Amino acid sequence: MSKIMNAYNYSEEEKKLIKSISKESDIWSLDEIIDLKKEIRNFYRKEQKILCAYCRNPVSLVYPDNCHVEHIAPKSLYPEYIFVSKNLCVICADCNKIKRNQETIDKVPDTIKKKLKTKYPDKSEHFNIVHPHFDNYDDHIHIENGFYIDKASKKGNFTIGACLLNRKFLFMGWEPQTVNNTEMINKITKIYKEPKQDKRDDMLQKIIKELS
């Protein structure tokens, strides 16, 4: 899956609106920007072909609750990037609930940090996370039978962890640390590929032993 090709373009009117509220606190919750948020949501919903940027499951078409406007660098840590188009995308309710305020900007040297202070980091390597505007998802994460496997990519690994993408295992009673154990998930995926039932059973038994 490719990255987002177009970022939201603010109209002159919207730019004025943003400027007029810039000194307010809790900007994102203001009634004045309800329509703007709707525009942004609809724009990225289309750009992303109705898929969540992190788990690639469908986001809702009409109802906003399963189509959140996401701040890739969290707005609580980086209020200066709150309206930066390349910091925005849409994600599903589960990814939104899980990712929350986790840091996504990688540790960058102080010299770059100074430059970045006002300017949004615009390179893939500035981020820990698979950035929907700068990274091709498929280069970092492979989805097979609903399992998320990092392609030996640090960013892939970080994203799977930050959004707990293999979260369905939690419902099977797995511990969160096991759900985030990429090696284990890789082994489980291999079971799905094995065509012979007895071999599948053997593989499963081995994993159960390892987990107990």
Residue numbers of the site for Zn ion (CB under 5 A)?
52, 54-55, 92, 95
Shortest spacing between CB 177 and Zn ion, in angstroms = 21
Question: Cα separation of 17 and 116, whole Å?
Answer: 24
| Between 59 and 184, CB nearer to Zn ion | 59
- The minimum distance between CB 28 and Zn ion, in angstroms, equals 20
What string of DSSP letters covers 85-145?
Answer: GGGEEEE-HHHHHHHTT---BPP--HHHHHHHTTSPP-SGGGBSS--TTTS-HHHHEEEET
Nearer to Zn ion by Cβ, of 95 and 162: the residue is 95
Minimum gap (Å) between residue 79 Cβ and Zn ion: 24
- Shortest approach of Zn ion to residue 196 CB, angstroms? 34
Task: Give burial (CB, 10 Å; 0-12/13-18/19+) of 76.
Answer: exposed
C-beta separation of 54 from 99 below 8 A = yes
**Residue closer to Zn ion, measured from CB, 52 or 82:** 52
How far lies 201's CA from each of 86, 190, 198, in Å?
Answer: 46, 12, 5
For Zn ion, give the closer residue by CB, 36 or 92: 92
Compare residues 57 and 182 and give the one whose CB is closer to Zn ion: 57
Q: What are phi and psi of 5, to 5 degrees?
A: -90, -30
Name which of 98, 88, 112 is nearest 33 in CA terms. 88
Nearest approach in angstroms of CB 130 to Zn ion is 12
Other beta carbons within 10 Å of 93: 16
For the bound state, the minimum distance from the C-beta of residue 181 to Zn ion, rounded and expressed in Å, comes to 20
> In terms of CB distance, is 17 or 69 closer to Zn ion?
69
